[in-house]
Amino acid sequence: MNYSFEYIDIILLAMIAGFIFLRLRGILGKRTGYDGKSAPQFEKIIKNINIEKKANIEKKVKYNETFDKKAKEEFLKGAKIAYETIITDFSDNDNKLTTSKPLLSKKIYDQFNSALIERNKNQHSAEITFIGVESATVKEHKQIDKILEVTVDFVAEIITCIRDKDKKIISGDPEKVKKIYDTWVFSRNINSKNPNWQLIETLT
């Protein structure tokens, strides 16, 4: 009887060993890592990504092509008006932004408004005579997703001065024409119903 139990134990051990061997072979025999060809679902994803990239490039190229000489001239007409409106509104003596507010992004509005609050706190007032824009040139134009951005170099002439509470001049000259140079960035969302561009950055 003891021998028969030993034989049974040996047979059971052999069966277990065989089972483990088959399991290891099944696992170790499988391929792992990249075998040179993507799975069909990944090929489809990559294809879609490439199509999307191509569409974005074509859209950007289309925008660049349509921003031709005529488009630039039309844009610059509006940009000059916006420039004069913003400069005049910022420089008048009420220390408030009124007519130019729709033309300013929140960031620029907050910056300008902070300066006006400080000027009002010091009881200073500004006087300005805007002579005109001498030149306005498109320096750069681009599209980022749905946002169009145009950078413009302005050269303008103004007469301006700042007075204190006693009307004494503390800066500027009310009788001297001053030439100013500015580089501004305007932006517009092409999906927006509002056709107006907004000033989003002042580089100089």
pLDDT digits (tens, 9 = 90+) for 66-119: 567 777 888 899 999 999 999 888 877 677 888 888 999 999 999 988 988 888
CB 103 within 8 A of CB 198: yes
Q: What integer best gives the mean pLDDT of the chain?
A: 76
DSSP string, 140-201: EEEEETTEEEEEEEEEEEEEEEEE-TTS-EEEE-TT--EEEEEEEEEEEETT-S----EEEE
Q: Check residue 81 and give its pLDDT.
A: 93
Greater model confidence, 16 or 32? 16
pLDDT confidence band for 147 (50 / 70 / 90): confident
Whether domain 55-202 has CATH 3.10.450.240: yes
pLDDT at 34 over 70: no
pLDDT digits (tens, 9 = 90+) for 170-199: 888 888 999 999 999 999 988 888 888 999
Least confident of 6-20, 25-39, 121-135, 167-181: 25-39
Q: Check residue 97 and give its pLDDT.
A: 83
